[in-house]
Amino acid sequence: MLRDDTNKYLPLTESTCYIMLTLVEPLHGYAVMKKVEEISKGTVKVGPGTLYGAFTSLEEEGLIAKVKEENRRKSYVLTPKGKKVLMNQMKRLEIMTQNGLSVMDML
């Protein structure tokens, strides 16, 4: 079952989920935008406004932390709390996918 303390952050938007997926290692904004596009196979493109808004919200909620700032480039990484939220989101998506496949098999 999903943990109550992280339920309030769920469901994540697709963009936020991908941003968090990239932050399993420290990355700065431009690298996050490129990696999101890469790992989503081009289906998700995150613009600077969306990205920096997400960084602000995720940092305020304690889901990511700034680990480095160099020449105005800030690098962020998931916190333990952020990892729990991301794992719970993945579980939700897994359940949704299983249900969708079951329904599609009946069609």
CATH classification at residue 63: 1.10.10.10
pLDDT in tens, 37-88: 999 999 999 999 999 999 999 999 999 999 999 988 999 999 999 999 999 9
- 56 near 69, Cβ under 8 Å? no
Q: How high is the pLDDT of residue 105?
A: 87
Q: Which residues, listed in sequence order, are joined to residue 28 by a DSSP beta bridge?
A: 75
Residues of the domain holding 50? 4-106
For the chain, what is the domain count? 1
- 8 near 1, Cβ under 8 Å? no
Q: Where are the beta strands (DSSP E) in the chain?
A: 27-28, 64-70, 73-78
Amino acid, res. 73:
R
Mean pLDDT to the nearest integer, 15-41: 98
The side-by-side arrangement of strands in the sheet containing 64-70 is: 27-28, 73-78, 64-70
